[in-house]
Chains A and B, each alone.
Chain A
């Protein structure tokens, strides 16, 4: 909502201190997004008369205009606009004038012919928002006078307000003025209505068929209308508030809407057949609206029809073309109505027809502001139509569905203070609310003070006690409510789970991986390109673009893209991780009907192999305080089938470790191996780490020895280790695989594994015989797995 300072002053003496006004409006919740200065006079622009115009054979886009600037001399000006004719008065920027855009007018012309000034459009002079050629001035202006003086334009300011949804009344000057008046102690007056005597009764019959959607419909007939341009002050006000002046009838309607937040619609009464009927559309019914479009309607679109049931307007949204005001219009039928908000919203949204009127009906208009709006419209139209007759006998149908004139809401003084903080008295609260038209009807006993507050009809947003509490807060001033830091009755901390998540992050960062945040939306096919199934992925019902229409079920597709992107930019040492949610579809009977969303952690390093991925896992596993079994027999799709493993802990799958499937790499234009570790954090973090119990450190010497085995490739090192560990029993305190050798001197399809074993007892020195016995047990156990001691 744009508020013009000078116009606001029509409602009360608010003054011109723009900074003070802006601050007051902001502190009331009418956020001032910008303050712009308009109508700053441009010195050197005078009223001139067009004497004649002439084309030049070598100039296509401009013509020659000869003007008289009041001294009887003929001046020649080149001009690119063609909307003037001989005799028109136009603004001439004389030589040396500095235009608002900084240009200085010089005599330099074209084709060697000088130009003695420049003819100006409204935009060029900062008078109007859009240019419609050269500004044509009223005929009665005196030649040679300053254009701004002649127009009576003074510097003014426009406040652009961001009016929130809960303040429908502030979509009109009156609502803004009321709030501001209460804050600044300025008395507010409603602009005066039409004072002329009513003419003979002329009634157009109104029938409301849908009483829920239309609860009030006033139809007033006004004759003696002469359609033409509005007086310049009306046109200027509209233009400064961002509305295009059209003609005096439409402009009066718009001005009333801006002032009182009451949209009206003027029909050409002679084009309306036999009265009005308000009903919902029949499916498929069509209407040619004012903007020249044929609208196909649905049964919940509310229509204004004539007495013959032909649609002539879309209620609250846009009028029909058939009854539009034209130059020939002599009699106006003015509709001033109250339409139910959600219905208007639905129609406007569905048809993409958000108009100034529909926005206001959507937010809510004052059902009792109708009479004054009609009168104000007449007063404004009378400025340009001296013979205007407002006919008596206007139809004004009010249905029972019309909201009441006053809504009474109970407000407990104690509740105000409980929510806001300061100790306000019933009296203070009443006084504050009275300033904005909220009248205290009665007060119950002083002890349980409950005020009965009558909410005015222009505040449909105030329905419950808490709405009134907010009004008290606004007018008491948020800045006066104090600032107290509450003493938290909780202890601020990370939960153990959150702490562990941060620990894992730390480990991952310390291993040199940087954090990526790829888009969680994938293109159809991205999952397949990552070797993953797509049937458990959820699609967006209304994606922005097709390429972002699938929800990820794994972090891998995003990281594959990120790695590929960085490779294409020749980055070195690409190692990235992501910690984020994935959203595979869930089972049908999940408690809330939500997908199986979980938190995942995925680490990628280009040019690396599974040995690095395993190193990552062992680091993370040591910070978590528990390990997992490597299961190479079954691997998630998308992983290298022979170089990856599933991480299992009991029945749970913690994740996967290894390398990305070369086929997936090829599909993603990655020409090097990629090490990958993927963990289900929801499972991993849910597991609480065991708290280690201290064991006494052995004081007895240890015996270390190495065993080198020839082991067939089909037997895993892990299995051999497990067998050794079992055979070694409690005396085997440390076991390490420290060398793997493949090559000469070994049978085919086998490799040499060298283990270092460390034996130690907690209560004695092991004898040679004991060490030999344990060693033999280990050898036997290994032999069972086909691991034979090398010589």
Chain B
């Protein structure tokens, strides 16, 4: 009976010790306190642990087992409570740190921005990409040119009347009137014919110069892009097809193109090409034509074996219209307030 009593009183005492530990865990204020408490609870002579030796004094195996189970359960509960409480503290600590780290991100808006590519460059790259998609490569040439490349090789010999239409700027360099600022990108055609040899599928973007007083739609320094295709069996239909493909790829599927007869010394038959917007309005875009046999000969290509076409148009105007710039001179003021818009 004495055993029975002692088992019961032991059980009560174990529960009481457990409750006291649990409440101590609950009431601990910080992680350091919890660590100290945990150390205390794990001491050999801690209230709960002391029951282990008490348990040894019990005679009944059953009693030993039941008290043992009770002790284990209490130890397990306390360990779990300690862990939960530890995690709680850790979570709180992180939450507090997070709270403390609070940032107003709007303070960091527009600290450092990407620069702005000039709208003429943007247009040039878009054009280049479209033609690359059509199987073209890009050729380049000098901006200061010889009379030969700019005129003579393009079927405009010295006395040719069309020369006067180009408003050429000559340089005080070499023989008088022999070195000039190219008036169009066409001299690159001759350079490409000579260095690449056919087949040629090339575009030639670049800066050109005319002795033109600047106004809202003209600059003496501006940009053109020129295309040249030379291969066996190239016909006028291929020219029209290329212009159409370009029109749709660059401006959109709702656009269409037409060619109408015109005159350029370096192409024959020559044409102007227009594009039609969805609203039906025709916009004049540029000039084109089948490469004149004399030009092929200048480029060292046999006009009986190869044929080809060329086309060209202004880039500045495209940029101007795309971004609705009122006055083309605005594009060349280098005013950051203008440049940063695009």
Binding site for B on A (CB under 8 A): 26-29, 31, 164-167, 341-342, 345, 349, 362, 418-422, 464, 466-467, 469-470, 473-474, 478-479, 481-495, 498, 502, 505, 508-521, 538-544, 548, 551, 561-562, 565-566, 569, 571, 574-577, 580-581, 583, 585, 592-595, 597
Interface string of B221-255 (1 = CB under 8 A from A): 10000000101011111101111110000000000
Question: By the criterion CB–CB under 8 Å, are A510 and B171 in contact?
Answer: no
Question: By the criterion CB–CB under 8 Å, are B131 and A492 in contact?
Answer: yes
Provide the residues of chain A in CB contact with B340, threshold 8 Å.
514
Interface string of B94-116 (1 = CB under 8 A from A): 00000000000000000011111
Provide the residues of chain B in CB contact with A418, threshold 8 Å.
233, 235, 307
Q: Chain B's nearest CB lies how many Å from the CB of A243?
A: 23
Provide the residues of chain A in CB contact with B213, threshold 8 Å.
544
B interface, size bucket? 35 or more
Known: A165-B263, A569-B335, A593-B174. 15 other contacts (CB 8 A): A29-B261, A29-B263, A31-B272, A164-B262, A421-B236, A470-B269, A483-B244, A488-B136, A489-B231, A509-B117, A514-B115, A517-B120, A540-B172, A594-B145, A595-B171
Provide the residues of chain A in CB contact with B128, threshold 8 Å.
494
Q: How far is the CA of A489 from the CA of B240 in the complex (A)?
A: 18
Question: By the criterion CB–CB under 8 Å, are A498 and B268 in contact?
Answer: no
Residue B59, interface by CB 8 Å: no
Residue B79, interface by CB 8 Å: no
Question: By the criterion CB–CB under 8 Å, are B179 and A478 in contact?
Answer: no
Q: Chain B's nearest CB lies how many Å from the CB of A383?
A: 36
B274-316 contacts to A (CB < 8 Å): 290, 292-293, 307
Provide the residues of chain B in CB contact with A422, threshold 8 Å.
237
Question: By the criterion CB–CB under 8 Å, are B293 and A486 in contact?
Answer: no
Provide the residues of chain A in CB contact with B178, threshold 8 Å.
593
Q: How far is the CA of A418 from the CA of B229 in the complex (A)?
A: 15
Q: How far is the CA of A740 from the CA of B27 in the complex (A)?
A: 53
**Which of B115, B177, B292 has a CB less than 8 Å from the CB of A515?**
B115
The 10 closest A-B CB pairs, nearest first, are A488-B135, A29-B261, A164-B263, A421-B235, A421-B237, A562-B334, A470-B269, A482-B237, A492-B132, A515-B118
Q: Chain B's nearest CB lies how many Å from the CB of A31?
A: 7
Q: How far is the CA of A138 from the CA of B328 in the complex (A)?
A: 52
Q: Chain B's nearest CB lies how many Å from the CB of A551?
A: 7
Residue B121, interface by CB 8 Å: yes
Question: By the criterion CB–CB under 8 Å, are A486 and B146 in contact?
Answer: no
Q: Chain A's nearest CB lies how many Å from the CB of B248?
A: 10
Secondary structure of the B side of the interface? mixed
Provide the residues of chain A in CB contact with B181, threshold 8 Å.
540
Question: By the criterion CB–CB under 8 Å, are B259 and A508 in contact?
Answer: no
Q: Chain A's nearest CB lies how many Å from the CB of B291?
A: 10
Stretch of B36-44, B50-58, B64-72, B158-166 with 4 or more beta carbons under 8 angstroms from chain A: B158-166
Question: By the criterion CB–CB under 8 Å, are A566 and B336 in contact?
Answer: yes
Q: Chain A's nearest CB lies how many Å from the CB of B106?
A: 19
Q: How far is the CA of A569 from the CA of B143 in the complex (A)?
A: 32
**Which of A478, A510, A513, A514 has a CB less than 8 Å from the CB of B261?**
A478
Question: By the criterion CB–CB under 8 Å, are A166 and B263 in contact?
Answer: yes
Residue B85, interface by CB 8 Å: no
Residue B5, interface by CB 8 Å: no
**Which of B113, B241, B290 has a CB less than 8 Å from the CB of A486?**
B241
Q: How far is the CA of A349 from the CA of B272 in the complex (A)?
A: 28
Question: By the criterion CB–CB under 8 Å, are A542 and B169 in contact?
Answer: yes
Q: How far is the CA of A511 from the CA of B261 in the complex (A)?
A: 48
Question: By the criterion CB–CB under 8 Å, are B235 and A420 in contact?
Answer: yes
Residue B89, interface by CB 8 Å: no
Residue B324, interface by CB 8 Å: no
Question: By the criterion CB–CB under 8 Å, are B240 and A481 in contact?
Answer: yes
Given A491-B135, A493-B132, A470:B270 Cβ within 8 A: yes
Q: How far is the CA of A538 from the CA of B172 in the complex (A)?
A: 6
Question: By the criterion CB–CB under 8 Å, are B172 and A539 in contact?
Answer: yes
Provide the residues of chain B in CB contact with A349, threshold 8 Å.
164
Question: Closest B-chain residue to A470, C-beta based?
Answer: B269
16 CB-based A-B contacts, threshold 8 Å: A28-B261, A31-B272, A342-B161, A478-B258, A484-B241, A492-B133, A512-B114, A514-B339, A515-B116, A517-B334, A541-B172, A541-B177, A543-B169, A565-B333, A576-B334, A597-B144
Question: By the criterion CB–CB under 8 Å, are B201 and A485 in contact?
Answer: no
Question: By the criterion CB–CB under 8 Å, are B307 and A486 in contact?
Answer: no
Q: How far is the CA of A470 from the CA of B333 in the complex (A)?
A: 44
**Which of A341, A494, A520, A540 has a CB less than 8 Å from the CB of B138?**
A494
Residue B337, interface by CB 8 Å: yes
Given A421-B236, A493-B137, A541-B171, A571:B337 Cβ within 8 A: yes
Q: Chain B's nearest CB lies how many Å from the CB of A559?
A: 8
Q: How far is the CA of A495 from the CA of B262 in the complex (A)?
A: 34
Given A478-B271, A515-B118, A565-B335, A538:B173 Cβ within 8 A: yes
**Which of B238, B260, B332 has a CB less than 8 Å from the CB of A27?**
B260
Question: By the criterion CB–CB under 8 Å, are B236 and A514 in contact?
Answer: no
Q: Chain B's nearest CB lies how many Å from the CB of A441?
A: 23
Question: By the criterion CB–CB under 8 Å, are A482 and B240 in contact?
Answer: yes
Question: Closest B-chain residue to A478, C-beta based?
Answer: B259
Provide the residues of chain B in CB contact with A571, threshold 8 Å.
335-337
Residue B33, interface by CB 8 Å: no
Question: By the criterion CB–CB under 8 Å, are A597 and B114 in contact?
Answer: no
Q: How far is the CA of A467 from the CA of B161 in the complex (A)?
A: 17
Question: By the criterion CB–CB under 8 Å, are B207 and A580 in contact?
Answer: yes
Question: By the criterion CB–CB under 8 Å, are B116 and A514 in contact?
Answer: yes
Provide the residues of chain A in CB contact with B144, threshold 8 Å.
538, 551, 583, 594-595, 597
Q: How far is the CA of A478 from the CA of B235 in the complex (A)?
A: 12
Provide the residues of chain A in CB contact with B262, threshold 8 Å.
29, 31, 164
Q: How far is the CA of A583 from the CA of B209 in the complex (A)?
A: 14
Given A538-B172, A569-B337, A486:B234 Cβ within 8 A: yes
Question: By the criterion CB–CB under 8 Å, are A481 and B237 in contact?
Answer: yes
Question: Closest A-chain residue to B131, C-beta based?
Answer: A492
Provide the residues of chain A in CB contact with B235, threshold 8 Å.
418-421, 481, 484
